[in-house]
Amino acid sequence: MNNEFKQQMYDLLGPDYDAFMSSLNDEPKKAIYMNIQKECHDETLMSSLLEHPLVKNGYYFNPSTTPLGKSPYFSCGLYYIQEPSAMLVSSFLDIQKDDYILDMCAAPGGKSCYAAMNLSHEGLLIANDIVPLRAKILSENVERFGLENTIVTNAKPAAFEKILPEFFDKIILDAPCSGEGMFRKLDQAVETWSPEKVNECAYIQKQLIDTAMVLLKPGGKLIYSTCTYNKKENEDIVNYALDQYDCHLLPLPHSHGIQPGIDMDEAVRLYPHHYNGEGHFIALLQKNGVEKVHKINALKPHISKVQRDLVADFYKTYLNKDMPTYLYENQNHIYALLPQFPELKGIRILRNGLYLGECKKNRFEPSHALALSLKKHEVKQFYDYNEDSKEIKDYLHGLSIQGTTQKGYGVLFINNLPLSFYKESQGQAKNLYPKGLRR
């Protein structure tokens, strides 16, 4: 481990230094939060979890006895596996049902999914990441959670400044950082650390703060976080925001081993020798001023009559719910919009609300995302199996399952949780689980 980092932590922690260094040899803690838009009916699973003391619907788990990453429940979007310190960020944001929220550096999606599941259909989350591969992973996690109020984008955050000024009620800025708080969890974080990287990250963090303040409404809240310890990327960045912009700090709770910021009691620091998680820094800022009216163009529905009729016929034939009102077509791919979705000219969009499926010649093929958003009473044909059943194991491997007398599309459920569409004919339920997800 870099000697300069050791000296930095010794100067920072003093008598706590040895306890901190010792904690880096402990096993990283594992946690999940439950998707509140889906119901867990497995009492055995719930009894194996330890409730997180600060995060509503958050739990610790033991991966050696409860390997939740391998469970079919994970594929159903029942929960999100997230580091327990990072889990605090969105939970500290006091999300209201109709908030418009931006997650500026959102991949892989833990903070985004937590925020979006707490919003209603009057709310909006834009989850953005600048790196294409990371944005793809973000989009996949949003899909797995069955979210309908979320737009996933792949752009520089500054690209939003001209089209969405003072648009957001809340902004999550989990900034790129030197990753000192991940040393126990990731060997790569140790190997790539340097004082130069710290300075480079601090420069980027100030730019992101500048953009966030343009995009945040007066009265809106910005939660800033990093998974690092040094003051340059934490308190110094917050002080930069306080010096450059009309804003103030809001106090965050200090309990369960959470420490105050350095000369900044409103902020919090998480150390693995005090708190049951990895290293983190979190601060909550509120922008002052009076809200102005900015004209924001809404994204207009766009779909041909032929395409609309194909989607309508699918809903009528296979689902017990109304077809969404606002539909948008892009190269025959159909999305369900919400009326508050903004027009994002010049922004690369990976997911515009709920992806319903694709219109092909004289037919509509439903998407995996649509399946994951459905409840059992909303589908006309289904099979429901236990999590550990042979049918589910076979289906996740890509095999078909034995059918009955059904014809056409249905949804495969695991203990009332949607997993995938299937298409049945002649007593065989053809596997429609995406090939890239099979195992």
Instruction: Choose among 405, 403, 395: nearest CA to 432.
Output: 395
Which residue bears the tokens 């902004």? Answer: 171
DSSP label of 131: S
CB 251 within 8 A of CB 264: no
Provide the β-strand partners of residue 431: 422
CA distance 214 to 77: 34
**Is 203 buried (19+), middle (13-18) or exposed (0-12) by CB count in 10 A?**
exposed
CA distance 188 to 338: 41
CB 226 within 8 A of CB 83: no
CB 229 within 8 A of CB 281: yes
Which residue bears the tokens 């994951």? Answer: 372
Say which of 177, 227, 247, 359 is annotated catalytic.
227
201 is a catalytic site residue: no
Which residue bears the tokens 């929220």? Answer: 101
> What is the separation, in whole angstroms, between the first and last Cα of the chain?
37
CA distance 294 to 303: 28
CA distance 334 to 3: 55
DSSP 272-336: TTTSSS--EEEEEEEE-S-PPP---PBPPPB--HHHHHHHHHHHHHHBSSPPPS-EEEETTEEEE
**Catalytic amino acids?**
227
